[in-house]
Amino acid sequence: MQTISFGNKQITPSKIICIGRNYVDHIAELGNEIPDEMVVFIKPNSAIAEQLKSMHHEPLHYEAELCFLYE
């Protein structure tokens, strides 16, 4: 399990809930259709990483992420 540092604590998140397809300019940049509603999905704890990796030489799209921690 991956951990994050928050203040003086090491925390192991049990779930990561994500919201996608909510930024119209990025949807257009990718050539995707604009959905009627944003997409909600989850990622495993193993998605927490310190290094950015690209598989199969796919282009990287740099985005800002907002995170909220509930304890």
The pLDDT value given to residue 40: 92
**pTM, to two decimals:** 0.63
Q: Please check the confidence at residue 71 and state whether its pLDDT lies above 80.
A: no
pLDDT bucket at 48, cuts 50 / 70 / 90: confident
The pLDDT value given to residue 66: 78
Q: Dihedral of the CA atoms 17, 52, 37, 22 (nearest 10)? A: 110
What are the distances in angstroms from CA 60 to CA 14, 35, 54, 56? 27, 22, 7, 11
Q: Please check the confidence at residue 70 and state whether its pLDDT lies above 90.
A: no
Cα separation, 34 vs 28, in Å, equals: 8
pLDDT bucket at 51, cuts 50 / 70 / 90: confident
User: Phi/psi of residue 34, each to 5°?
Assistant: -80, 120
